[in-house]
Amino acid sequence: MKKTLLFLLTLVSSLSIAYAQQREISGRVTASDDGSGLPGVSVVVKGTTIGTSTDADGRYNLRVEENSVLVFSFLGYLPKEVPVSGQTTMNVVLAPDAKQLGEVVVTALGIERSERSLGYSTQEVKGENLTFTKEQNVLGSLAGKVAGVQVAGSSGASMGGTQKIQIRGVNSVTGGGQPLVVIDGTPISNANFAGRNGADYGNLAQDINPEDIESVNVLKGPTASALYGIRGQYGVIMITTKKGSKGPKKVVVQLNSAFSLEKVGNLMPMQNLYGGGSTQTFRTLANGQKYVDGTDESWGPKMDGTNVRHMHSFYPQDPMYGQLEPFVAHPDNIRDFFETGFNLNNGVSVAGGNENSTFRLSYNNTYIEGVEPNTWLKRNNLGVSASLDLSKKVSVSTNFNYANNNGQRPSQGYYEGSRNFTQWFQRNLDMKRLKNYKYSDGTFYHWNTNRPTAEGVITDPEPVDWNNPYFEAYENINSDNRERFFGDVGLTYQVLPELKLSGFVRSDMFTQNIEHKEAAGGRYEDGYSVAKYQNREMNYEFLAQYTKDLNDFSFNVNLGANLYDRHYTFLSQATAGGLSSPGFYNIGASRERPTSGREDYPSYLLRKKLQSVYGMATIGYKDTYFIDFSVRRDHSSTLSDPYYYPSVSGSFVFSELLNWKPLSFGKLRASYAQAGNDVAVYATSLNYEVGGLYGNESGTTNTSYVPDVLNNPDIKPSFATSYELGVDLKFFNGRLGADFTYYQQRNRDDVIALNVSGASGYTSAYVNAGLMVNRGIEVALTGTPLQTGKFSWDVAFNLARNRGTVKELYPGLDSRLIESNSYSGVSMYLYSTVGQPFGTIVGQAYQRDEATGKVLLGSNNQPLYTTATHNFGTVLPDATGGFQNTFRFGQFDLGAMIDYQLGGQFFSWSRMLAVKAGLAPETAAINENGKNVRDPLAEGGGVKVNGIYGPGVKINGVDVSGQEFNGFVDAKTYYRTTIGTRVYEEWLYDASYIRLREVRLGYTLSRTALGKLPFERVGIAFIARNPAMIWQKAPDGLNPAELATGASSFSWLETGGLNTVRSYGVNLNITF
User: What was the pLDDT predicted at 243?
Assistant: 92
DSSP H or E stretch at residue 540: strand 527-550
- What end-to-end distance do the CA atoms of the chain give, in Å? 47
Question: What's the angle, vertex CA 1003, arms to CA 999 and CA 1007, rounded to 5?
Answer: 145
User: What was the pLDDT predicted at 989?
Assistant: 95
* CA-CA-CA-CA dihedral for 676, 680, 684, 687, to nearest 10: 170
- CA-based torsion, 241, 247, 249, 252: positive or negative: negative
Q: In angstroms, what is the C-alpha Rg of the chain? A: 33
User: What was the pLDDT predicted at 540?
Assistant: 97
In the chain, the amino acid numbered 1021 is: A
User: What was the pLDDT predicted at 739?
Assistant: 96
* CA-CA-CA-CA dihedral for 464, 469, 473, 478, to nearest 10: 50
Residues 881, 800 contacting (CB under 8 angstroms): yes
Measured over all CA atoms, what is the biggest interatomic distance in the chain, rounded to whole angstroms?
137
Residues 259, 202 contacting (CB under 8 angstroms): no
In this structure, the strands spanning 943-949 and 855-857 are parallel
Q: How far apart are CA 708 and CA 682, in angstroms?
A: 13
Q: What is the DSSP secondary-structure string of 600-661?
A: TB--EEEEEEEEEEEEEEEEEETTTEEEEEEEEEEEETTSSS-EEEEEEEEEE-GGGT---T
User: What was the pLDDT predicted at 86?
Assistant: 79
Q: What is the DSSP secondary-structure string of 742-766?
A: EEEEEEEEEEEEEE--GGGT-SEEE
Q: How far apart are CA 4 and CA 2, in angstroms?
A: 5
Per the DSSP assignment, residues forming a β-bridge with 675 are 720
Spatial neighbors of 876 by CB under 8 A, at least 6 apart, are: 169, 170, 802, 804, 837, 838, 839, 903, 904
User: What was the pLDDT predicted at 883?
Assistant: 96
Spatial neighbors of 197 by CB under 8 A, at least 6 apart, are: 411, 412, 413, 416, 417, 476, 478, 516
Mean pLDDT by groups of 10 residues along the chain of 1072 residues: 42 38 78 70 84 76 86 83 86 74 72 86 88 83 92 75 86 86 93 76 90 92 82 89 83 94 93 95 94 92 96 93 96 94 96 91 96 94 96 95 94 64 90 93 90 89 87 92 96 94 97 94 92 95 95 95 94 92 93 73 81 95 95 92 93 92 94 88 77 52 72 89 95 92 94 86 89 96 89 95 94 90 82 93 92 94 87 93 94 94 92 94 97 96 96 93 95 93 90 96 83 85 95 93 64 81 94 88
User: What was the pLDDT predicted at 821?
Assistant: 82
Q: What is the DSSP secondary-structure string of 1016-1054?
A: SEEEEEEEEEEEEEEEESSPTT--TT----TT-SSS-EE
SS3 90: coil
Domains and CATH numbers, the chain: 20-96 (2.60.40.1120), 122-263+342-348+356-412+473-794+876-904+992-1071 (2.40.170.20), 803-875+905-989 (no CATH)
pTM of the predicted model, to two decimals?
Answer: 0.88
Residues 422, 919 contacting (CB under 8 angstroms): yes
Q: How far apart are CA 19 and CA 938, in angstroms?
A: 104
